[in-house]
Amino acid sequence: MALNPQQILVELNRLATGRRFCLAYSGGIDSHVLLHILANATPSLPNFRVIHINHGLNSASASWAEHCAAVCHEHGIAFKAISVTVADIDSLGLEAAARKVRYQAFSQELAADEVLLTAQHQQDQAETLMLQLLRGAGPKGLSAMWPETAHNGLSIFRPLLSVSKQAILDYAKLHQLTWVDDPSNHDTQIKRNYLRQKIWPQLQEYWPALDKTLSRSAEHCREAVVLMHELAEIDARTVIKEAGQLSLSALLALTPERQRNLLRYMIEKQGLTLPSTVILQRIVAEVCHAAVDKLPEVSWPGALIRRYRDTIYIDAEQAVESALTEQTLHGMAKLELDSGHTLLWQHVFGQGLKPSVVEDGLSLRYRQGGEKICLQGQAHHKSLKTLFQEWGVPPWQRKQIPLLFTGNELVAVVGYGYAEGYAANPDEQGCLPAVIKHNSTSF
C-alpha cells in the first residue's frame, strides 16, 4: 500500500479517545518517516512524545541518540533517551534479547493511558510470517504482528503495517529526511537479516508482490486466531472452574483439537508463556490421561501444570519454597505473611471466630503434620490430613494455608473451617480471616 499520511492520522485520532501517544524512535528510516508524519499533522496530535532506546550494542549508539534528540528538538517534540543493557543474547539471540529489554523499558516508562507507536511495515510483517513458518509456528505465530495489540501491559499500535517499504523510501526522499543506518541490519548472522539480504531478493524475482501476499496470509491467520479464541471462550463456560483451574472430565469431553485450543487459551489468559507443541502433547498425555491416583505435572519456563483428582491447575512456575515461620497476630490487624500474601479480617455475622478469641491473641503457623481440629458442629477431632482430603485441597497447597492457634490448640484453618467452642455462633458477630493474594482486591 502507498503511504497516505492523512489516513494514518485518521486512524490515530480514532484510536486516541483521550489517550496519549509515545513513538518508539530508533532513528532509522521507518520510525523517522512516522515521526515526520506525526510532527506535521494538522491539527497537531495532543500529548505526543518520543522515546529512543539506546541498546549500547554499537560504538555509535551515543551519536544515534544525539541525532534523535536533535530531530525531535527541531520539530518541538518532547524526547527522552533510555539506555538499557541487553542480556540473554546467547539463549535468546540478539534480536529477541534486544526486543525483550526494549519492551521492558517501555513498560516501565509509559503511563497507563499511553499508546506505544512502532514503525514496522509490510515487509517486516511478511518476514515475520516467514520466520514463524520456518519455526513451525501455529496460527497465532503465523498471524505475525497485529495492528493493535497488547504486550507486557503495553498498548501498541503499528500504523505502517500495511505500508510497503518502497513507499516509506519514496516519502523519505521526497521530504529529504536523514536517518540512522544501523550496520547490524546488514549482519547476515542474524536470521531476519539473512532472510532479508539473501533470500528475499530471490523470492521477489518470481513473486514481486511477495510482501503484500504474505501480509494478507498473516491477516487470514489473525482472523483464525480470533475465531479460535471465541471457540475457547465457549468451551471455557463448561470447563473452567475458576481462574487457572479446569475440570478434567469436561475438558476430555471435547475433541482433541478443542482440548489443545482451550489449554493454550487458558495458559495465555494466565499471562504465561505458551508451551511448545511437544510440551502441549506432554500436558495432554502425562497430565490429562494419567491414572486417577497420580499427581502428574509438566513444567516449562515460567509455567507449571498439575492435576489433582478432576481438576487441572495452571500456575506460574514456583520458586523454591522458603521456610514459613510462626507469626503473632495482634487482634484483627493486617498481617503480611511470609508467602508474600496478606491476612485480613472482616466483621461478619455468624462466621469466623468469636471476637473474644481473636482479642485474646492468636499465633499463625503452617502445617507440620499431625494437627487435629474439632470443627464447629462436630463432636470429634479429625486430622488435618483427612480434612484436606475431604475438602479436595491439592497436596502442594496444604503447606501454604495459614493455621490459627490459641496456645497449642488449632482453632482455625483459614478459608476452610473453625473449631467448636471458638467459632462464632449463627446468631452472633464473628471475625472472618482471609488470605489476599497478589493482585487481589477483595475477600
DSSP string, 110-174: S-TTEEEE----HHHHHHHHHHHHHTT--HHHHT-S-SEEEETTEEEE-TTTTS-HHHHHHHHHH
37-72 burial, b at 16+ Cβ within 10 Å, e below that, comes to bbbebeeebeebbbbbbbbeeeeebeebbebbbebb
Tell me the C-alpha to C-alpha distance, in Å, between residue 196 and each of 130, 134, 191, 193, 214.
11, 14, 9, 5, 14
On whether the CB atoms of residues 350 and 425 are closer than 8 A, the answer is yes
Single-letter residue type at 322? S
With a cut of 70, list the residues of the chain below it in pLDDT: 1, 46, 319-323, 438-443
Q: What is the pLDDT of residue 323?
A: 66
What pLDDT, on the 0 to 100 scale, is given for residue 434?
Answer: 93
Cβ partners under 8 Å of residue 384, min gap 6: 367, 371, 372, 373, 398, 403, 410, 413
Give residue 293's pLDDT: 86
- State the pLDDT at residue 443: 46
Collapsed DSSP state (helix, strand, coil) of residue 338: coil
Comparing C-alpha atoms, which of 319, 305, 263, 283 is closest to residue 394?
305
Say if CB 71 and CB 34 are below 8 A apart: no
Three-state SS at 215? helix
Burial class, 416, CB count within 10 angstroms (exposed 0-12 / middle 13-18 / buried 19+): middle
pLDDT at 88: 83
**Short-list 368, 407, 363, 404, CA closest to 385:** 368
Digit-coded pLDDT (tens) for 346-384: 999 999 999 999 999 999 999 998 999 999 999 899 999
According to the model, what pLDDT value does residue 441 have?
43
What span, in angstroms and rounded, lies between the C-alpha atoms of 404 and 67? 63
Closest listed residue to residue 123, CA positions, set 35, 199, 26: 199
Q: What does the alpha-carbon distance between residue 401 and residue 423 come to, in Å, rounded to a whole number? A: 18
pLDDT of residue 438: 59
Closest CA to 315 of 251, 385, 231, 394: 394
Topology at the third CATH level for domain 243-316? Chorismate Mutase Domain, subunit A (1.20.59)
Say how many residues make up the chain: 443
Task: Supply the pLDDT for residue 440.
Answer: 45
> Which pLDDT score is estimated for 321?
58
Enumerate residues 6+ apart whose C-beta is below 8 A from 427: 350
Q: Is the CA virtual torsion 22, 24, 27, 33 positive or negative?
A: negative
**Strand ranges for 172-293 from DSSP E:** 240-242, 245-247
The set of cell numbers assigned to 274 is 505458551
The pLDDT score that the predictor gives to residue 319 is 55
CB contact at 8 A, 177 and 32: yes
| Segment (H or E) for 314 | strand 311-316
- 394 DSSP assignment: -
Nearest one of 102, 59, 111, 60 to 82, comparing CA atoms: 102
- CA distance linking residue 326 with residue 82, whole number of Å: 44
Q: CA–CA separation, 229 vs 274, rounded Å?
A: 14
Classify domain 5-211 at the CATH superfamily level: HUPs (3.40.50.620)
Determine the pLDDT at residue 265: 95
The pLDDT, as a whole number, for residue 182 is: 87
- The residue ranges of every structural domain in the chain are 5-211, 243-316, 327-436
